[in-house]
Amino acid sequence: MKAGPIRALAIILESIWVTLRISVPTIWEVYRGRYRRAAGDARLRWWSRRLLALVGLSLRVVNPNRVELPTAAAPASS
């Protein structure tokens, strides 16, 4: 379904708002030296779900081979 011009503008403005809503606190925490990855990850999960809902999409992850994915990035090796 194609969005009309008013709906498209609303989606754009809402996308900008939700992006600022996670970016500003994250930048502030980094600047103050108080950034925590768990909080950043939670913000990104909220942001991505919000954007998908905004455009009416849903996401389903299928893992038929039951591959276990690591929950955190592995440390870089030198």
pLDDT in tens, 22-32: 999 999 999 99
Helix crossing, 5-32 with 37-54: angle to 10°?
180
d(CA 56, CA 1): 10
Please give the pLDDT value at position 75: 54
Q: Which residue has the tokens 């939670």?
A: 42
pTM: 0.69
User: With pLDDT > 90 as the criterion, what percentage of the chain qualifies?
Assistant: 63
* Residue pLDDT, tens place only, 37-62: 999 999 999 999 999 999 888 888 88
Please give the pLDDT value at position 64: 84
Please give the pLDDT value at position 72: 65
